[in-house]
Structure 1
Amino acid sequence: MPDYSCDALIIGSGQAGNPLASALAEAGRTVILVEEAHLGGSCVNYGCVPTKTILASAERLHQVRTAGELGIRLSGEATVDMPAVIARKDALLADSRHNLHEALVRQHPGVTVLHGHAAFTGAHTMRVQQTQNEAIDIRAKQIFLNTGTRPAVPAIPGLAEAGYLTTTSLLDIQEVPEHLLILGGGYIGLEFGQMFRRFGSRVSIIETGLHLLEHEDDDVCECLQQALLDDGIELVFNAQTRRVSRNAAGELTLTLDTPQGERRLHGSHLLVATGRRPNSDALNLEATGGVKTDGKGYIQVNSKLQTNVRHIYALGDVHGGPQFTHISYDDFRVIRDNLLHRGRRSAKQRPLPYCVFTDPQLGRIGLSESQAKEQQLDYRVSKIPVRSISRAQQTGATTGFWKVLVGPDDRILGAAIVGPEAGDIMTILQVAMTGRLRYQQLQNMVIAHPIWAEGLNVVWKKLK
């Protein structure tokens, strides 16, 4: 069994692990990067890259089908070639994985990439099982865990026997489901639901709560819910799935408990989108001397992303908190600055921008209105409908609103942008928040006409 030693051992090649390997190698450290599956982690392989690539096909199809609203006449019905959609996605993934390998191995000779499953054998040692009969033992001065998460599957009677799709397996589907049932009303369920509705599926989303996106303000939830209803998606709230079954013809049946009594939903495919769980349970953390996890298995870290075993760090989704690619990448920057640049960068109390890629989009930064109320902050709010912006009137994309919270010092506390290009508008507001600009500086800024950002001149007019 070969033995290796290194300065830094990184387990997982996600959006924190890859750049960390490069940065440490450039600083002269010997680095071993271990990946059990494909290079790139969740974002590249079953997260942002593949989902947004497929979503782009659904968006284009919707634009073609609704072109008549803008006076465009098309002969024949627009249809989807699902194998071609998936092939386009696969080609992009292949390019991304190849480019990652080239960047890591060819550009950084100090990085050794190994494939296999890694588990601790001691506080400074791990064994990488490459095949059933081949393994490598590695000793490292510092170890960085970037192992991510996997779909969480609820314990519902009959689910395993009936069969189901996860947000990973659905990315390879070769046909358009006749009727897609989705368990979970979070942002992943919404994106997949609208995507497949536009491909032509009937879609039903089953949510245990009283509304979708439970952490958002009521007006945000109501707007997105109405948009999904307008698309023809069925929404079932306050429903507990008690059993799943599949008959001889292949039809699925979900038996639900609702306030109105038992209800049964029938469909051709079932997507489980009820959250994720951390990939910490197969690391043999006990061998480290006791790296601590919480009740759900997320690895506990301090503001520098150190575990209680000080030479072991956890980056990305495996340590819990918001599970976004950009947060994982910022974890890399926290480690890099603290280890290599003698910085004092913290992973706590950092901005949390995010975007939900439904139509309309949702872009969020800073405090929501409900959070400001819970914290008993003094704030003012201004809210305008998207249809009042010139660009919306010209394009016909009029669904949504902009809502911005302002503090007593006239500085921005947070924003919820629902509408076209919401993520980009949110980012402009984030820049203003970072620079501690007062809202009047945006209100009086000369902004080119007619672009979406022009709304930043007028969103304040109802501030109260």
Structure 2
Amino acid sequence: MGHSFDAIIIGAGQAGPSLAGRLTAAGMSVLIVERKLFGGTCVNTGCMPTKTMVASAYAAHLARRGADYGVVIEQPVRVDMKRVRQRADTVSFNARTGVETWLRGMRNCTVAEGHARFAGAHTIAVDGVLFQAPRIFINVGGRANIPDMPGIRDVDYLTNTTMMQLDTLPRHLVVIGGSYIGLEFAQMYRRFGAQVTVVEKGARLVGREDADVSEAIRTILENEGIACRLDANCIAFKRHADGTEVHLDCDSGARNVAGSHVLLAIGRRPNTDDLGLDKAGIETDERGYIKVDDFLATTAEGVWALGDCNGQGAFTHTAYNDYEIVAANLLDGESRKISDRVPAYALYIDPPLGRAGMSEAQARATGRPILVSKRPMSRVGRAVEKDETQGFMKIVADAQTQQILGAAILGTSGDEAIHGIIDAMSARVGYPALKWAVPVHPTVSELIPTVLGDLAAPVPT
């Protein structure tokens, strides 16, 4: 019959451990299964190690700019890549160890290591051992997407995971994919001292953003010496004396670029292809993401999917909110839904992009009357004082309801300042209320009331 529990959690990423904590505190017996590294993507190959490296890259960048601040630093600045990797590894190790220690010491929680696969509606097998529970939660995350591009199997390439294992500096890093992950690594390694080329199939970088945001990001990167090759219609690979030759077929410029290292940053895919989901009646979409309703329930009774594998966010904070929704509904008698949350995220280039809600293009596409306001970061005292004035702040609102529809803050501390907008949108507060806020000076957030005060009907496009 196998071993029985009140709940089984597959995967120890951002949602799983916290859910185990709530369920066990409610008196349930819980089995949590992890096949590899506790903590998931964020802790091991995502947010924590990469942002640690971003901090090292920022330190190198600031050191090179020392003279701008009246600080004389011997040039050229040298970057110790082994130390850079050691910092990132230490941050990940400490976080991973903390998660595992917490789970193993949790009362009523059993930890199993191995690959879990469904053997029935409410039964899983881990290395041949069967476990049963009336409630099963899937939190298996995702991994780098590797498209079947011409020649890709004939060359060496890196992903966001294997990139974290480098402790030497690439001579020339070619990044395939001009979106969030790719651009963070591109700027990071340029600041470490590598030559960097970004190759993007689309007409602009980070294509989901507004055109003015994309263009500003491109300018920021190109000002640091990063080559951006757009409209790469047919990307192909072959071995080269210098490493790998990438065929671009761009509309302009050289048709090939040779790099010592190639990083594939072309989206993510869910870890759902080897779970035996069909044996439990759990449906996926055409990309492999587990189908869930607004309460995160799958097509199988008593089974929920949280985090990156459900295609409803793909961020650490959305995965954690998935846990909050499920826990509130199961244990607190609430009726929380995915659709209640305000979409928000950040791009961690320097300066960062903080985003909330709709872009201007998305708001226009709704057909509703909208208001838009935009101010350059050069109008922000804090940015001027730090001599980091690249970027701008833009807010979009509904002209009739006065609700804020979305915002983009591309600039120093943009990833923090955006929370003033997120909070207002989450509380359903109309923008006039924020116009009379009295923010602290000098901060980036203090410009928000001013920008709101300038909201006006946009010029037709």
**Do both share a fold (TM > 0.5)?**
yes
Say if 1:142 and 1:311, in contact at 8 Å, map to a contact too: yes
Quote the Cα distance in structure 1 between the aligned partners of 2:242 and 2:7: 50
Q: Secondary structure at the match of 2:395?
A: strand
**Corresponding residue for 2:54?**
55
**Corresponding residue for 2:286?**
295
**Corresponding residue for 1:175?**
168
**Corresponding residue for 1:29?**
28
Q: Secondary structure at the match of 2:136?
A: strand
Moved more, 437-446 or 208-217: 437-446
Q: Secondary structure at the match of 1:188?
A: helix
1:314 corresponds to which of 280, 288, 305: 305
Deviation at 1:461, TM superposition (A): 4.3
Quote the Cα distance in structure 2 between the aligned partners of 1:98 and 1:291: 32
Deviation at 1:260, TM superposition (A): 4.7
Deviation at 1:210, TM superposition (A): 0.4
**Corresponding residue for 1:154?**
147
Opposite residue 232 of structure 1, the aligned amino acid is G
Say if 1:194 and 1:228, in contact at 8 Å, map to a contact too: yes
1:188 corresponds to which of 172, 175, 181: 181
2:431 corresponds to which of 404, 425, 439: 439
2:126 corresponds to which of 125, 128, 151: 128
Say if 2:200 and 2:232, in contact at 8 Å, map to a contact too: yes
Deviation at 1:261, TM superposition (A): 9.0
Q: Secondary structure at the match of 1:458?
A: helix
- TM-score where L is the length of structure 1: 0.95
1:350-361 alignment to 2 at 5 Å?
350-361=341-352
Say if 1:253 and 1:264, in contact at 8 Å, map to a contact too: yes
Opposite residue 82 of structure 2, the aligned amino acid is P
Say if 2:341 and 2:426, in contact at 8 Å, map to a contact too: no
**Corresponding residue for 2:380?**
389
Opposite residue 371 of structure 2, the aligned amino acid is R
**Corresponding residue for 1:346?**
337
Quote the Cα distance in structure 2 between the aligned partners of 1:411 and 1:281: 41
1:421-436 alignment to 2 at 5 Å?
421-436=413-428
RMSD, aligned α-carbons:
1.6
Say if 2:174 and 2:196, in contact at 8 Å, map to a contact too: yes
Deviation at 1:321, TM superposition (A): 2.9
Quote the Cα distance in structure 1 between the aligned partners of 2:379 and 2:299: 53
**Corresponding residue for 1:379?**
370
Quote the Cα distance in structure 1 between the aligned partners of 2:336 and 2:377: 38
**Corresponding residue for 2:259?**
267
Opposite residue 344 of structure 2, the aligned amino acid is P
Moved more, 438-447 or 231-240: 438-447
Say if 2:9 and 2:139, in contact at 8 Å, map to a contact too: yes
Deviation string 1:70-110 (CA, Å, 9 cap, x unpaired) is 2221124211100111111111111111211222222x211
Quote the Cα distance in structure 2 between the aligned partners of 1:334 and 1:284: 26
Say if 1:255 and 1:262, in contact at 8 Å, map to a contact too: no
Deviation string 1:284-324 (CA, Å, 9 cap, x unpaired) is 11211x21111111111111111111111111111113211
- TM-score where L is the length of structure 2: 0.95
**Corresponding residue for 1:463?**
455
Opposite residue 378 of structure 1, the aligned amino acid is P
Quote the Cα distance in structure 2 between the aligned partners of 1:458 and 1:160: 53
Q: Secondary structure at the match of 1:384?
A: strand
Gaps of 5+ in 1: 130-134
Q: Secondary structure at the match of 1:348?
A: helix
Opposite residue 257 of structure 2, the aligned amino acid is L
Opposite residue 60 of structure 2, the aligned amino acid is L
Say if 1:384 and 1:462, in contact at 8 Å, map to a contact too: no
**Corresponding residue for 1:64?**
63
Say if 1:252 and 1:269, in contact at 8 Å, map to a contact too: yes
Opposite residue 273 of structure 1, the aligned amino acid is A
Say if 2:242 and 2:259, in contact at 8 Å, map to a contact too: no
Deviation at 1:69, TM superposition (A): 1.3
Deviation string 1:112-133 (CA, Å, 9 cap, x unpaired) is 111101111111111112xxxx
Quote the Cα distance in structure 2 between the aligned partners of 1:77 and 1:199: 12
Deviation at 1:276, TM superposition (A): 1.1
Quote the Cα distance in structure 2 between the aligned partners of 1:125 and 1:435: 41
**Corresponding residue for 1:73?**
72
**Corresponding residue for 1:132?**
none
Q: Secondary structure at the match of 1:214?
A: coil
Structure 1 residues 72, 20: closer, same or farther in 2, change over 3 A?
same
Deviation at 1:148, TM superposition (A): 0.9
Deviation string 1:340-376 (CA, Å, 9 cap, x unpaired) is 1121111124211111111121111112110111001
1:255 corresponds to which of 247, 250, 266: 247
1:137 aligns with 2:125: no
Q: Secondary structure at the match of 2:5?
A: strand
Deviation at 1:32, TM superposition (A): 0.4
Quote the Cα distance in structure 2 between the aligned partners of 1:318 and 1:143: 14
**Corresponding residue for 1:112?**
110
**Corresponding residue for 2:459?**
none
1:323 aligns with 2:321: no
Deviation at 1:262, TM superposition (A): 7.8
Deviation at 1:255, TM superposition (A): 1.5
Gaps of 5+ in 2: 457-461
Opposite residue 130 of structure 2, the aligned amino acid is D
Moved more, 366-375 or 251-260: 251-260
1:334 corresponds to which of 321, 325, 338: 325
Q: Secondary structure at the match of 2:120?
A: coil
Deviation string 1:15-60 (CA, Å, 9 cap, x unpaired) is 1111111111111111000001111011111110111011110011
Q: Secondary structure at the match of 1:431?
A: helix
1:227 aligns with 2:220: yes
1:365 aligns with 2:363: no
Quote the Cα distance in structure 2 between the aligned partners of 1:260 and 1:359: 28
